């Protein structure tokens, strides 16, 4: 049937406008153009790495961009020291210790094998130097010394490590020591290490610069940071390497470009060079095909819904945390926000009280959800105001039912 014959047919049945719209949308387009997504929506598969396990995560949103066996329990080797350093930073932040505090070096710390900071038994070493020794040169002696200083021994310190691992959601981790030396029940996973790195970066940013330092000198001995990417990629600024014969070579790294920070973890590679190269593949993939957007600041007012029985009629509603979303590049125009708020809010209401959810929608998919809270207190109104609101609510419901 020709377009002219179709037009006569559709005019007779009042469908001309519909047909012409359909013809306008498809005329002149090859069939393939109607089914292939636009180039900016195509995200290639993540790279396959020569490692036992890996993950790539956005440090702000927590969104995972790529993973392989990320929950597999593996020996973490010196990646363990990220938790040791995290607990030191936590105590510094709480004020229970100070950078200038002196730590006595025990014979056990001095005798601990593996990588060393080269502290001497009986010496008094500052917390500052020990933290640098743990992070930069992976000192087992420094790790044991800090464990003894904070908890009285490496066993009690391992208990603390496990308690905080559980607190931040490291569900496939168990520590037996502060160093990462092999232990029968000492394990972690790529996902758990990424979570720990995320907390180190976001919880204690004032200490994070230590992880980017390339060298550390103590007692006249200069040692380099074993993270080769600190020399190769100016966007990389942390975090920690690890190696044992059982674990292979691992690296937890982080990099920031144009306001987007990524965390990568590779575990079980074959060499120092391999862990650097495989990490670089992950980071390049993430920065090339994704972007992170700060959609709302903490405390942003997103709605002012009706509240019944209060001293005022509206309450400011919003988010109590920064809202970040990680998206495929060039799709930000497709983002929409959807607010799901109870239509029956009642006073009194306290600041921080949950009243609904914010859904972030990309195309047809919900890509993120955050809770909505009251951003202010609303006290209960007087007797007359409460009675008046009851009448208003009654007639409002009556009208709503009538309209339905």
Q: Which residues are the active-site residues? A: 78, 81, 138
Task: State how far the Cα of 277 lies from the Cα of 227, in Å rounded to an integer.
Answer: 11
DSSP state letter for 349: B
Instruction: Put residue 227 in one of left, alpha, beta given phi > 0 → left and psi -120 to 50 → alpha.
Output: beta
Please tell me whether residue 268 adopts helix, strand or coil conformation: strand
Classified as helix, coil or strand, 283 is helix
Contact between residue 76 and residue 267 where contact means Cβ atoms under 8 Å apart: yes
Q: Cα(393)–Cα(284) distance, rounded to whole angstroms?
A: 56
Number of helices and strands in the chain (H, E): 11, 18
Q: Which long-range contacts (CB under 8 A, 24 or more apart) does 183-189 make?
A: 186/75, 186/76, 186/80, 187/73, 187/74, 187/75, 187/76, 188/73, 188/74, 188/76, 188/79, 188/80, 189/53, 189/70, 189/71, 189/72, 189/73, 189/74, 189/267
């Amino acid at each position: 049937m020709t377009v002219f014959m179709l037009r006569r047919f559709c005019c007779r049945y009042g469908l001309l406008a519909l047909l012409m719209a359909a013809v306008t949308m498809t005329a002149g387009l090859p069939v393939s153009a109607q089914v292939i997504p636009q180039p900016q929506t195509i995200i290639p598969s993540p790279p396959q790495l020569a490692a036992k396990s890996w993950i790539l995560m956005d440090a702000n949103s927590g969104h995972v961009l790529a993973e392989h066996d990320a929950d597999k329990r593996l020996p973490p080797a010196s990646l363990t020291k990220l938790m040791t350093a995290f607990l030191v930073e936590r105590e510094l932040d709480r004020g229970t210790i100070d950078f200038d505090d002196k730590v006595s070096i025990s014979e056990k710390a001095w005798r601990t094998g593996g990588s060393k900071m080269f502290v001497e038994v009986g010496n008094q070493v500052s917390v500052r130097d020990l933290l640098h020794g743990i992070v930069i040169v992976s000192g087992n002696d420094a790790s044991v010394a800090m464990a003894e200083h904070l908890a009285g021994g490496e066993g009690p310190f391992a208990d603390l490590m496990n308690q905080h691992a559980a607190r931040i959601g490291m569900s496939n981790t168990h520590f037996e020591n502060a160093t990462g030396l092999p232990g029968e029940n000492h394990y972690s996973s790529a996902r758990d290490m990424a979570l720990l790195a995320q907390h180190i970066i976001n919880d204690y940013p004032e200490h994070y610069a230590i992880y980017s330092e390339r060298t550390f000198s103590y007692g006249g001995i200069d040692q380099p940071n074993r993270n080769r990417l600190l020399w190769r990629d100016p966007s990389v600024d942390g975090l920690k390497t690890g190696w044992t014969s059982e674990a292979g070579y691992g690296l937890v790294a982080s990099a920031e470009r144009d306001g987007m920070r990524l965390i990568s973890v590779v575990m079980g590679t074959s060499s120092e060079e391999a862990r650097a190269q495989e990490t670089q593949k992950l980071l390049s993939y993430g920065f090339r095909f994704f972007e992170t957007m700060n959609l709302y600041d903490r405390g942003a007012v997103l709605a002012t819904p009706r509240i019944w029985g209060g001293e005022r009629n509206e309450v400011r509603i919003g988010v109590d945390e920064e809202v970040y979303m990680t998206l495929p590049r060039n799709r930000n125009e497709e983002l929409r926000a959807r607010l799901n708020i109870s239509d029956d809010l009642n006073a009194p209401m306290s600041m921080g009280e949950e009243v609904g959810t914010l859904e972030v929608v990309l195309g047809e998919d919900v890509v993120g959800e955050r809770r909505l809270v009251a951003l202010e207190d609303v006290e209960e109104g007087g007797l007359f105001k409460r009675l008046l609101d009851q009448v208003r609510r009654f007639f409002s419901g009556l009208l709503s039912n009538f309209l339905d």
